Amino acid sequence: MNITITKTTHPGTLPPSDQLGFGTVFTDHMFLMDYSADKGWHDARVVPYGPITMSPAASVLHYGTEVFEGMKAYRRPDGGVQLFRPCENVARLNRSCERLGLPQLDPDDALQAIKTVVKVDENCVPSDPGTSLYIRPFLYGTDPTLALHGVHEATFAIILSPSGSYFKNGLQPVPIMVETEDVRAVRGGTGEAKCGGNYGAANRAGDRAIEKGFSQVLWLDGVERKYVEEGGGMNVMFKINGTVVTPALTGSILRGVTRKSAIELLKSWGVPVEERLLSVDELFDAAASGTLEEAWCIGTAAVISPIGELSWGDRDYKVNDNKIGALSQKLYDELTGIQWGTKPDPFGWVCPID
Ligand code: COI
């Protein structure tokens, strides 16, 4: 694929890496590529970061025809830059497109686009511990018509955000509450797709949780409201009696790349892992009896976020005394060690950008 590169004439400056936070500053360039039913994907370009124009009737603005990915570029100790399992993100992006009726990408072209724009802004990949360049590929429908029909015009874009920790307090355990009113997804819906609508529809519950002093919600399945599904924007794992239990991918749960990697790592260490239905009763009974040894949310942005307190109605339990558990810490160290290139990569997960 031919990608034209237009460099900015006004390069910006980034804040010091200890002030980065998550997803608030962006690099000087972005990638764009357009789709139309007659031309297919065309006009791949890296251009200065800036506003995107579209028709006020564009399908994404009215009908939420948007999907996205979250991935990161890491600065290795030798100064090089690498990605983590990027082909998994590209494959998931295409699955999300398929669900939303958006045009899919050639996986090689998508990977080339990601590598090219990261290479252009390579100097923005931070190097301090815990920092990375968060990569946000997204794809949306631009058909300028209000009639309801499939998407015939679309744009694929990639923006880059040098980032620190997702949560202000880094790896500190967080309190989370079971959401009993709203639901995130139902089987047959879009729960498995990484589409903007899933996250927008989760905002109300997330805001209410924060008002009550929790960091995020724990979603239950949308049909029986009985089984644990996900955290707010992340997958979840629970160590119960020595076994790591994580909700099975029933169709309404995001197929997390970090989730998948953690399962592979845990199995390689001989830790039993069960991907299965986990009822909220079973979880809270384990918390009450002391067999819930550790709990954590897991995703690209936060990597591992230990859960220190679980609340469901009037039931409230501390997990591991509100401390980071040994297995959560080991998973965090191993995953980030592979990602930052400070530990060996026995699975061949990392992918240099050049
Ligand atoms: C990620 O972990 O990359 C995500 O997509 C979560 C995001 C909604 C902040």
Task: Specify the residue with its C-alpha closest to ligand 1, atom 8.
Answer: 233
Task: Specify the residue with its C-alpha closest to ligand 1, atom 5.
Answer: 70
Quick one: pLDDT at residue 101?
A: 96
Cα separation of 233 and 222, whole Å? 16
For 4-163, CATH number out of 3.40.50.12160, 1.25.40.80, 3.30.470.10, 3.40.50.1100 equals: 3.30.470.10
Interval 149-162: pLDDT, tens = 889 999 999 999 99
Interval 332-353: pLDDT, tens = 999 999 999 999 999 999 999 9
Contact 318, 312 (CB under 8 A): no
Interval 110-129: pLDDT, tens = 999 999 999 999 999 999 98
Q: Using alpha carbons only, how large is the chain's radius of gyration in Å?
A: 20
Superfamily grouping for domain 174-340: D-amino Acid Aminotransferase, subunit A, domain 2 (3.20.10.10)
Q: What is the DSSP string of 60-87?
A: HHHH--EEE--EEEEE-TTS-EEEESHH
Interval 34-71: pLDDT, tens = 999 999 999 999 999 999 999 999 999 999 999 999 99
Pocket test for ligand 1, best of 24, 219, 300 (most atoms within 8 A of CB): 300
Average pLDDT value for residue range 130-140 = 96
Model confidence at 94, in pLDDT bands (50, 70, 90)? very high
Pocket test for ligand 1, best of 230, 234, 305 (most atoms within 8 A of CB): 234
Nearest to residue 179, comparing CAs of 250, 234, 232? 232
Domain boundaries, the chain: 4-163, 174-340
Task: Note the pTM of the prediction, 2 decimals.
Answer: 0.95
Quick one: pLDDT at residue 17?
A: 85
Contact 90, 111 (CB under 8 A): yes
Interval 221-237: pLDDT, tens = 999 999 999 998 899 99
Mean predicted lDDT score pLDDT of the chain = 95
Question: With a 6 A CB cut-off, is 301 part of the ligand 1 pocket?
Answer: yes
